Chains A and B, each alone.
Chain A
Amino acid sequence: MATRAPGRPLHGPDPATPDRSVGAASVIPGFGLTMGLTIAWLSLIVLIPLSSIFLRAAGMGWADFVAAGFSPRAIAAYKVSFGTALIAALVNALFGLLTAWVLVRYDFPGRRIVGALVDLPFALPAAVAGIALTAIYAGNGWVGQYLEPLGFKVAYTPVGITVALIFIGLPFVVRSVEPVLADLSAEVEEAALSLGARPWQVFARVILPAILPALLTGFALAFARGVGEYGSVIFIAGNMPFTSEIAPLLIVTQLEQYDYAAATAIAAVMLIASFALLLAINLVQAWSRRRVDG
């Protein structure tokens, strides 16, 4: 079963294919053209524009950078962004694993539709998800009207932010775990069972270790996406500084007040955080490839 998703990790060249000639020495034409196009386009659209953040931040001077990038309001916004993204990613790790398990292991009516529905957050624009979730969880909404009398407010609180980030992040976990779960060989589980292991022992000792790298990758992708998410969050967040203001919104607010320095400093801090996450994801994948190959 070849389940494919944008969250899927990119693999390097297939180790099974023999190593062949480098670059222009191959009989296949077009290396210069396609490579030139790739590097030029990548530099113009991504690398040069992104470096503008760091060049601007470097031009600010250390004291100004810290004052703007780590002001009390900015630190509160980082706490909201990273905290809600962490909780949402943990929920998604649990329910994403459950969803992947149910989709791979069980046959039930509507399985294909459920499988397609998992990708909804990749296809539904963030702003649409944002206003829909707000309508559902507001005090007079479909779900909110039952929660609010119980003293449980979702919309316009950090809980609402977490709900939006659960929506956004779920497919990353499901699509990371699903192919690995499908490729697990049945023999190992059967052997464990025949040796007297209980089903939960098989899960904890045999299945979980095998899918752990994929689960961690999905968790990290969902977390990284949640930290930077904007469109689905701002409608449901309440956007009160120090309590429910996310870091991307603070960037927009500073920009609207023409405080470019503060916007740049906060963006630089967020970029460094997301590069660190990207590095962590790559390390997890390298670790899992070594485990598979070794």
Chain B
Amino acid sequence: MTARPATSGAARFALIALAIGFLALFLLLPLVAVFAEALAKGFGAYAAAIAEPDALAAIRLTLLVAAIAVPLNIVFGIAAAWAIAKFDFPGKTVLTSFIDLPFSVSPVVAGLIYVLLFGAHGWFGPWLRVHDIQIIFAVPGIVLATVFVTFPFVARELIPLMSEQGRDDEEAALSLGASGFQTFWRVTLPNIRWGLLYGVLLCNARAMGEFGAVSVVSGHLRGQTNTMPLHVEILYNEYNFVAAFAVASLLALLALVTLILKSIVEWRFDYQRGGAGH
């Protein structure tokens, strides 16, 4: 930080106090409340709520959905960033805006579009029924909705990063006789690893925590199509607050781990850029 015109001590203190007060009230307090409410009836009730079969089924389903959706979006994100960052072609800006589109669509609308396509009254509904395939109110629909809402995360981290890095490293490797795949694996991937990890972290957090889109396509079948956030909702609406907050606390822990890893990645990333003479 450079020498800047100093604000007076009192003003500086007031601004810092105001900012921290605001963040404590609006961000920290909800986080603390999750754990406080989860442990309100002691650790035994907390553990029992998490060990309950429907809760375990929800945890398994959430892990399964993330295990499918996140790798799909990693492959897509790398492919999109490679095409957009390493080549020039007309319509690049439009393509980039399209990739960002799921961020500006309400999660509920994201669920609705798949109901309109694959639901009982949807375009493919009759065909799916004849062939005995269920997408809506089943796991495939949950995966589709999750892929939609997490679609841009990896791509939008990698596109600016790879554009900034340019093509020189790859061209050098290729001219020295490396194959395309070797170039990607040995040159590009190490260059983008922190940005990739950052995108994957945010993608995973959203995949495991998505509520609105999944809620529309899930059908809320207990023990079958309930992800963790949906299970939290059901428990909460049954006034089973301790159990609701207990399952919610697992998601809050996931958020904390995500934030910690993200801070480490950011620190490494700045370090790497700083070391490169930035």
Is B87 on the interface with A (CB-CB < 8 A)?
yes
The reply to whether A248 and B88 contact each other, CB–CB distance below 8 Å, is no
Residues on A with beta carbons closer than 8 Å to the beta carbon of B241: 135
Interface residues of B in 51-106 (CB under 8 A from A): 75-76, 79-80, 82-89, 92-93, 95-106
B23 contacts the other chain (CB 8 A): yes
Asked if A11 is an interface residue, CB under 8 A from chain B, the answer is yes
A117, B252: Cβ atoms closer than 8 Å: no
Contact of B116 among A52, A99, A167, A247 (CB under 8 A): A52
Please, how many angstroms separate the alpha-carbon atoms of A229 and B212 in the complex? Answer: 8
Q: Quick check: A52 and B117 within 8 Å, CB to CB?
A: yes
> Contact: B15 with A106, CB < 8 Å?
yes
Known: A46-B98, A275-B104. A26 touches B26 (CB 8 A): no
Residues from chain A with Cβ under 8 Å of B152 in the complex: 6
**Do residues B100 and A22 form an inter-chain contact, with CB atoms below 8 A?**
no
B19, B22, B95 — which one has the most chain A CB atoms within 10 A of its CB? B19
Cα separation A212 to B28 with both chains bound (whole Å):
28
Residue of B nearest to A197 (CB): B5
The reply on A148 being an interface residue by CB < 8 A is no
Task: Return chain B residues, CB-CB under 8 Å to A29.
Answer: 174, 180
0/1 string, B223-259, CB within 8 A of A gives 1: 0000011101100100001001100100110111011
Task: Tell me if B166 and A17 are in contact (CB < 8 A).
Answer: yes
| Interface presence of A89 (CB below 8 A) | no
What is the interface of chain A mostly: helix, strand, loop, or mixed?
helix
**A14-B151 contact, Cβ under 8 Å, with A30-B180, A252-B108:** no
Indicate if the CB atoms of A248 and B34 lie closer than 8 Å. Answer: no
A46 engages B151 (CB within 8 Å) = yes
**Cα–Cα distance between A120 and B255 once the two chains are bound (Å):** 7
Q: Are B87 and A23 in contact (CB-based, < 8 A)? A: yes
Q: Decide if A241 is an interface residue (CB 8 Å cutoff).
A: no
Stretch at the interface among B42-50, B126-134, B266-274: B266-274
Chain B: residues with CB nearer than 8 A to chain A?
1-5, 7, 11-12, 15-16, 18-20, 22-23, 25-31, 33-34, 37, 75-76, 79-80, 82-89, 92-93, 95-109, 112-117, 121, 123, 144, 147-148, 151-153, 156-157, 159-160, 163-164, 166-167, 170-171, 174-175, 180, 183-184, 195, 198, 202, 205-206, 208-212, 215-216, 228-230, 232-233, 236, 241, 244-245, 248, 251-252, 254-256, 258-260, 262-263, 266, 269-270, 273, 278
